[in-house]
């Protein structure tokens, strides 16, 4: 069986101020984006630090890359929780529709093709192995960031963000071995979505 999600039209307005927006290039995300003005007011939930200040690099090169997804999230803008997605030297800010405790939860509940795991649960064993392997990477990234964060104060500056990123242990991903805890969490999220 091939899974084809229903095509849903996401309004291209900012989820904070309803200003006209452009979601081009983000069709796989099942939620609205923040406009540049609102994105500039995003603060880390953990420390209340302005995200743009944390990203303003104290080094000759920027703090960037998708690895930041597990580190600099979630954020809040004018009382609304959101999730930043870092790529290509920039970032976008997406509305949280379903409560998410970490980046893994956000991805699984809001972004295709990974969202289809919840829709087809418990038939996850019939899904494309590449989808599950990528989910495993998201899971392990979120878990290692959470473990490292336990012994540190919340990130409140660019220097602290650099220290945190540089202290992250290497990702212990083994091809074909899905984390049992990840499968348990997927089951919990699927049950909540049903």
What is the model's pLDDT at position 75?
Answer: 98
Of 123 and 78, more confident: 78
Of 78 and 134, more confident: 78
What is the model's pLDDT at position 22?
Answer: 58
What is the model's pLDDT at position 5?
Answer: 41
Domain ranges of the chain: 36-193
Average pLDDT, integer, range 20-26: 59
Q: Which residues contact 149 (CB under 8 A, 6 or more apart)?
A: 46, 164
Average pLDDT, integer, range 71-90: 93
Residue identified by tokens 């979120």 is 142
> Does residue 79 have a pLDDT over 90?
yes
Average pLDDT, integer, range 42-66: 93
Q: Within a 10 A sphere around the Cβ of 42, how many other Cβ atoms?
A: 26
N-term to C-term CA, the chain? 20
DSSP 123: G
What is the model's pLDDT at position 177?
Answer: 60
Burial of 3 (C-beta count, 10 Å sphere; 0-12/13-18/19+): middle
Residues 164, 62, 55, 114, CA torsion sign: negative
| pLDDT above 90 coverage of the chain, percent | 46
Q: Within a 10 A sphere around the Cβ of 88, how many other Cβ atoms?
A: 8
Average pLDDT, the chain: 84
């Amino acid at each position: 069986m091939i899974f084809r999600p229903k095509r849903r039209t996401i309004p291209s307005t900012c989820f904070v101020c309803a200003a006209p927006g452009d979601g081009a290039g983000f069709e796989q995300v099942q939620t609205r984006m923040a406009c540049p003005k609102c994105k500039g007011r995003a603060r880390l939930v953990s420390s209340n630090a302005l995200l743009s200040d944390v990203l303003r690099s104290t080094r000759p090169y920027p703090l960037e890359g998708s690895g930041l997804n597990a580190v600099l999230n979630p954020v809040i803008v004018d009382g609304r929780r959101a999730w930043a997605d870092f790529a290509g030297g920039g970032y976008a800010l997406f509305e949280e529709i379903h409560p998410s405790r970490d980046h893994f939860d956000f991805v699984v509940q809001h972004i295709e093709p990974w969202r289809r795991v919840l829709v087809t649960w418990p038939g996850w064993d019939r899904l494309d192995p590449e989808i599950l392997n990528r989910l495993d990477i998201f899971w392990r990234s979120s878990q290692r960031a959470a473990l490292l964060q336990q012994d540190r104060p919340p990130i409140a500056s660019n220097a602290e963000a650099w220290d945190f990123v540089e202290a992250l242990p290497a990702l212990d991903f083994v091809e074909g071995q899905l984390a049992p805890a990840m499968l348990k969490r997927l089951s919990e999220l699927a049950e909540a979505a049903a």
